[in-house]
Amino acid sequence: MRIVVTGGGGFVGSHLCEALLRRGDTVWCLDNFSTGEPENLAGLRDAPGFHSRHTDVTAPFDVPGPVHAVAHLASPASPADYGRLPVETLTVGSRGTENCLRLALRHHARFLLTSTSEVYGDPEIHPQPEEYWGRVNPIGPRSVYDEAKRYAEALAMAYRRSLGADVGIVRIFNTYGPRMRPYDGRVVSTFIRQALEGRPLTVYGDGGQTRSFCYVDDLVSGLIAMIDSSYSGPVNLGNPCENTVRELAEHVLSATGSSSRIEHRPLPVDDPTRRRPVIARARAQLGWAPRVPLDEGLRRTVGWFASRSPSAEGALHHHTVHHPVGA
């Protein structure tokens, strides 16, 4: 297949590009690198079938040759990013999504929209099935991301119903793994960075709020399954194993061997109290479920973060030498 991946220079996008290339697809990676990192694509530059283009999908665009699928991942996706780029987030969710839909329609291609668990807002139903409509504050500080994705879902379904577009929607829950940016504001990357630096781990509120953490390799396998499917969705892609933020902090301290303490701070506005996906649709429609347990995923992620910082790598190595597993 010839597949366009928008946001392909980002954390998830670069992993998706790699996985598609591994199975023999040709990949056109489009990114304006407002939040993506060219370094994420360094290992792909000379890969057969890989093409990268600096592109802002909020302006009309095309790619040469046939297109069999368009995977639309382009968007700021962390509180730090969409707080810094609020208008850009809304624009890529609206105008950018429509430009990607038009590309897919012109080529009679499959269109994959990566939506988010944020469409559920601070949910009143737990765990969250796809039938739940959510509880979102449309003018709150998180609204630019939440509402951009909600609009993108509505637009995709409108193209499907009125124009016959081959649309598939996935709602991604908290994803972590190598290539997360240290200062992206996500809880996993923040805790790992703080632990490796010997700084306090900042837990907001009492740490009792929950999230469900999915390792990036598991998520990517779900994205590819949705590209290959004809199902429209939406489909939750996430790990149904729920952890409190306090528990995550303890897992990170264990994975890093850090002696950092936990420091509590006031809870941000509109921070969801609970998050856990119902994945019955993903199992039934895609044959998908996550496989990597949290401790293993954190071990891989911590190793990657440590490899980016010689001092952190040394500290981690010191820990693993003197504190073997089970000690």
Residues belonging to the active site: 145
Per-position DSSP letters for 229-298, written without gaps between them: ------EEES----EEHHHHHHHHHHHHT--PPEEEEPPPTT--S---B--HHIIIII-------HHHHH
Q: Take residue 124 and report the two structure tokens written for it.
A: 């009143």
Q: Is the peptide bond before 127 cis (omega within 30 degrees of 0)?
A: yes
Q: Could you say which DSSP state residue 167 is in?
A: E
How far is it, in rounded angstroms, from Cα 86 to Cα 139? 12
Q: In Å, how far are 67, 120, 191 from 106, measured between CA atoms?
A: 9, 32, 44
Residues 6+ apart with CB under 8 A from 242: 127, 210, 211, 212, 274, 275, 276
How far is it, in rounded angstroms, from Cα 126 to Cα 129? 8
How far is it, in rounded angstroms, from Cα 97 to Cα 75? 10
Instruction: Kindly report the backbone phi and psi dihedral angles of residue 316, in degrees, each rounded to the nearest multiple of 5, phi listed first.
Output: -70, -40
- Let me know: does 138 contact 147? Beta carbons within 8 Å: yes
How far is it, in rounded angstroms, from Cα 202 to Cα 283? 35
| Single-letter amino acid, residue 325 | V
CA–centroid distance for 200 within its chain: 25
